[in-house]
A and B are shown apart, each in its own frame.
Chain A
Amino acid sequence: MNWIRQKSPFVLASTILGVLMVLFLIIPILGSVGNSLPGLPSAFTNTRTLNAIFTSFYCAFLATIFVFSLGIPFAYMFARYDFHGKRFLDSVIDLPILIPHNAAGLALLSVLAPASPIGGAFRLFGVEFVDTVFGIVVAMAFVSAPFLIRSAQEAFGSVSFTMEKTARSLGASNFQVFRHVTFPLALKGILTGCLLAWARAVSEFGAVVILAYFPKTAPVYLYDVFEGLGGSGGLKAALPVSTLLIILAVVILFGFKLATSKTERIVQ
């Protein structure tokens, strides 16, 4: 612990502030878990709670796949090529992060409502967005896309041009270079982006609730329980549900870390 022995005021101040930061992040979570322990078993067995969590995870999964299919090629182009309007697009990507999420929901509703041209067109194919899984997925995809795109863009950017040129000169087509070299090397960053996007999608409330109040996702359900819309409400009723979400988030986070550290070892 060399840095303690240095007794530098700067190091000391940073340490104290750092500890405060960690406490700020961890106390509410621990408090939520601690206060909800009595109600936790019933939350685990409540079908409505479990259904809401399943809806969230499932829709977030679909949203991630959607963003992955459209976002990965885009992120690759963005990392590799220069084109007109690139800087403009660069700021557009971040817009969903910057605007309030219920505003995002309203924006989506305005173009996807059955009465609008786009919503109407989809309706012809039997796809509706208001109060459907499609609506949830679209709202989730909209707010989580930047996370995946940015992570993937950075991951692609870290694969050197020389690496790709070398592969090309060895007889690989552009697609083969992507498939055998660039994508595998960027995989860890892309997976991280997927996790971020998925987690962001799971936690989305504002945009989802406006486009699709039903079927209820976990955050919407949690809000309902807190407001007492399904009977007895308040903190006491809502805490076990939120704790369940926290536990699942922690399990998934560690599972992911474990999995990606394995791919990293393979890469190295």
Chain B
Amino acid sequence: MTLKIDHVSKKLGNFSLRDVSLEVAEGEYFVLLGPTGAGKTVLLEVIMGFNHPDSGKILLNERDITNVQVDKRGMAYVPQNCPLFPHMNVSENVEFGLKMRRMTSAERSKTVKKMLDAMGLWEMTKVMPSTLSGGERQKVVLARVLVTEPTVVLLDEPLTSIDTETSRSLRKELKRINHEFKVAFLHVTHDQIEAFSLADKVGIMMDGKIVQNGTPEDILSKPASEPVARFLGYENVLYVKLVKYKSGISEVSADGVSIKLKGKLESDAATIAIHPEDVSVTTEAPVSEETNSFEGKVRDYTNLGPIVEVVVDIGLKFKAFIDKRSFIELNLIEGKNVHIAFRTDSVKIVGAGNG
């Protein structure tokens, strides 16, 4: 195990980190995902040593580093909008950490050259930061950090404020670095695509607490609570009462609408969530035992780029995502009669009932 955060709490003004524990294994890509204001940056600053925790411990390779100075922690940190030193050229920037470690000049230039080659930056050695593009700049930032051979790199929103195209290629670059340099990443973001495309493991952070952590598949398929479900885009959240349970399938009722779901409720009431992605819209009734199917009217739709969000009223309002082509082919004008359907295992139990 590489980095271990052990029951860390920290109060800062009105905000507090509350009993945060997490582990980042050797070479693992861990993404901490959470809405803005969840305390992700504060946590990184506590891990890096810019803030001292009120309680709890931080361990790196089994060594307690809670009281170790920032520059002696052996971790690397890339803050949000991480600046390059504007008075140094690319290779001087990359050299900085080695110089601080008192590496000899000959060794430094050899190491820096190797790193610049590995990052595809060999042509920019003498270039000043102000003339670099956003993507190049971020690559130099990463090179500057990696050259010091850290075991863990903390990344604070490294891909925000970078255009989509560059962000996509940097995502690949991060994954490549993670594998090739065998360095563990603790990457903080509010962007789900970023999180789920990069992570070996994801932690969801909300309101100063880690509310769930696991593999991306685990988290996407089993959100642990209603807030997590809502944050992950499960927009159809319903408070239901149990009607009956038979051979692995529970039948529940939400305002008179009867829904079947896989699994057993812990009590008579529950909160369930269905992701709009899992809801299909058709003009004819689908036939399948595994599926919930309802008839309703199209109430509204919103164009979200490649997909369209359609609101269908079946007595309850349901949101469904369909791709643009289907949307046009189905000719979904407001008021049109349609069927919606979702599988019983798409219905997630995310909490106890409402009252």
Q: Which residues from chain A sit less than 8 Å from chain B, CB to CB? A: 160, 162-163, 165-173, 176, 180-181, 184-185, 266-268
A170, closest chain B residue (CB)? B97
Choose one: B80, B81, B100; the contact of A170 (CB below 8 Å). B100
A251: min CB distance to chain B, Å? 28
Cβ–Cβ contact A170 & B96, under 8 A: yes
Q: List 11 A-B residue pairs with CB atoms under 8 Å apart, sorted by A's residue number.
A: A162-B80, A162-B82, A165-B77, A169-B71, A169-B75, A169-B76, A169-B79, A170-B144, A171-B72, A185-B86, A185-B87
User: Bound complex: CA of A176 vs CA of B100, how far in Å?
Assistant: 8
Cβ–Cβ contact A173 & B83, under 8 A: no
Enumerate B58-94 residues with CB–CB distance to A below 8 Å: 69-72, 75-83, 85-87
State whether the Cβ of B101 lies closer than 8 Å to any Cβ in chain A: yes
Cβ–Cβ contact A167 & B96, under 8 A: yes
A115: min CB distance to chain B, Å? 50
Known interface pairs A162-B79, A166-B79, A268-B130. Does A171 touch B100 (Cβ–Cβ under 8 Å)? yes
B159: min CB distance to chain A, Å? 17
User: Bound complex: CA of A124 vs CA of B102, how far in Å?
Assistant: 45
Cβ–Cβ contact B148 & A170, under 8 A: yes
Closest 5 CB pairs of A and B: A169-B77, A170-B97, A171-B100, A172-B100, A168-B70
State whether the Cβ of B145 lies closer than 8 Å to any Cβ in chain A: yes
Known interface pairs A167-B96, A170-B97, A176-B100. Does A268 touch B86 (Cβ–Cβ under 8 Å)? yes
User: Bound complex: CA of A196 vs CA of B86, how far in Å?
Assistant: 26
Cβ–Cβ contact A162 & B83, under 8 A: yes
Main secondary structure of the interface of A (DSSP, over half): helix
Q: Which residues of B contact A267 (CB under 8 A)?
A: 86-87
Q: A166-B83, A173-B71 are in contact. List 7 more A-B contacts (CB 8 A).
A: A167-B85, A168-B71, A170-B97, A170-B144, A180-B85, A184-B87, A185-B86
B84, closest chain A residue (CB)? A166
Q: Which residues of A contact B85 (CB under 8 A)?
A: 163, 167, 180-181, 185
Q: Which residues of B contact A268 (CB under 8 A)?
A: 86, 128, 130
A263: min CB distance to chain B, Å? 9
B299: min CB distance to chain A, Å? 47
State whether the Cβ of B48 lies closer than 8 Å to any Cβ in chain A: yes
Cβ–Cβ contact A166 & B77, under 8 A: yes
User: Bound complex: CA of A160 vs CA of B78, how far in Å?
Assistant: 15
Q: Which residues of A contact B99 (CB under 8 A)?
A: 180
Known interface pairs A165-B50, A165-B77, A166-B77. Does A171 touch B83 (Cβ–Cβ under 8 Å)? no
A176, closest chain B residue (CB)? B100
Enumerate B167-191 residues with CB–CB distance to A below 8 Å: none
Choose one: B48, B76, B83, B145; the contact of A163 (CB below 8 Å). B83
Choose one: A171, A184, A266; the contact of B97 (CB below 8 Å). A171
Q: Which residues of B contact A266 (CB under 8 A)?
A: 87
User: Bound complex: CA of A180 vs CA of B97, how far in Å?
Assistant: 11
User: Bound complex: CA of A162 vs CA of B50, how far in Å?
Assistant: 11
B126: min CB distance to chain A, Å? 13
User: Bound complex: CA of A226 vs CA of B72, how far in Å?
Assistant: 65
Cβ–Cβ contact A172 & B130, under 8 A: no
Cβ–Cβ contact B82 & A166, under 8 A: yes
Choose one: B48, B71, B128; the contact of A171 (CB below 8 Å). B71
Q: Which residues of B contact A162 (CB under 8 A)?
A: 79-83
Cβ–Cβ contact A172 & B71, under 8 A: yes
User: Bound complex: CA of A168 vs CA of B70, how far in Å?
Assistant: 6
Q: Which residues of B contact A168 (CB under 8 A)?
A: 50, 70-71
A105: min CB distance to chain B, Å? 41
B96, closest chain A residue (CB)? A170
User: Bound complex: CA of A166 vs CA of B80, how far in Å?
Assistant: 10
Q: Which residues of A contact B144 (CB under 8 A)?
A: 170
B73: min CB distance to chain A, Å? 8
Most interface-central of A166, A169, A172, A268 (chain B CB within 10 A) = A169
B104: min CB distance to chain A, Å? 16
User: Bound complex: CA of A263 vs CA of B69, how far in Å?
Assistant: 33
Most interface-central of B78, B81, B100 (chain A CB within 10 A) = B100
Cβ–Cβ contact B148 & A171, under 8 A: yes
User: Bound complex: CA of A166 vs CA of B145, how far in Å?
Assistant: 10
B48, closest chain A residue (CB)? A169
Instruction: Flag B89-129 by CB within 8 Å of A: 1 or 0 each.
Output: 00000001101110000000000000000000000000010
Most interface-central of A167, A171, A185 (chain B CB within 10 A) = A171
User: Bound complex: CA of A241 vs CA of B180, how far in Å?
Assistant: 73
Cβ–Cβ contact B70 & A169, under 8 A: yes
Q: Which residues of B contact A166 (CB under 8 A)?
A: 77-79, 82-83
User: Bound complex: CA of A160 vs CA of B71, how far in Å?
Assistant: 18
A179: min CB distance to chain B, Å? 10
B131, closest chain A residue (CB)? A268
Cβ–Cβ contact A170 & B145, under 8 A: yes
Q: Which residues of B contact A167 (CB under 8 A)?
A: 85, 96
User: Bound complex: CA of A162 vs CA of B144, how far in Å?
Assistant: 15
B132: min CB distance to chain A, Å? 13
Q: Which residues of B contact A165 (CB under 8 A)?
A: 50, 77, 79
Most interface-central of B70, B79, B86, B148 (chain A CB within 10 A) = B70
